[in-house]
Structure 1
Amino acid sequence: MTNWLIAFVALLLLFLIFAGMVIAARYLAPHEYDKEKYDLYECGAPMVNEFRYFNVRFYIIAIMFTLFDIEAIFMYPWAVYFKELGILGVIEMGLFIIMVFVGWIYAYKKGALVWE
């Protein structure tokens, strides 16, 4: 019972410190609007011309590459322990490869792999 009481007191103290910091920051921080603070910048230098957005397809391709790369990395330990895993390991890796392939087909049908 005393362990739970100590944990409860620690959590209560943690909550009080957190709440005190939030309240103190709210009332003690300066609230003046500073144009330079909210102005866009890159690497500390002021912007020369307008901001250009990247095409969203770039990010989708990058995420898809990362996901499929990580999935391929999962196959290396399986290949190392191929004999020890037996038929169950082959079945599990087959299901894994099928799921990766289904994900790839889904992305292809949605047009995520088309760069244009």
Structure 2
Amino acid sequence: MLVFGGLALFFFAVTYAFWQEGEAKKISTPVAKGPGEHCVESREYMRENHMLLLNEWRHSAVREGERIHVTPDGREFEKSLNTCFQCHGSRGFCINCHTYAGAKPNCYGCHHEM
């Protein structure tokens, strides 16, 4: 009888997280407001890879002097956080999602004016 009680307690402890009625925290989706119709890359790419793009921009702009990003469809953008903030408004746009995801970007260590 003690074994069944122990197994029941173990089963409860292991499966509690799966059957409890909790809901995932929802955050509002930031809306880009600005002059452009499209971002420098697709929405899907930017959601997953924006830091890769920004790191690439930093490297090519600072180390190689290449300051212009050309998209596959021929549009040109300056490789700068200011380009992003033309549509994405402010630090709050970034901080909202990064806080939710537990990410701690170091952009603002150098870019105080943003």
TM-score w.r.t. length of structure 1 = 0.31
Task: Return the TM-score normalized by structure 2.
Answer: 0.31
Q: Greater helix percent: which structure?
A: 1
The higher relative CO (CA closer than 8 Å, separation ≥ 6) is in 2
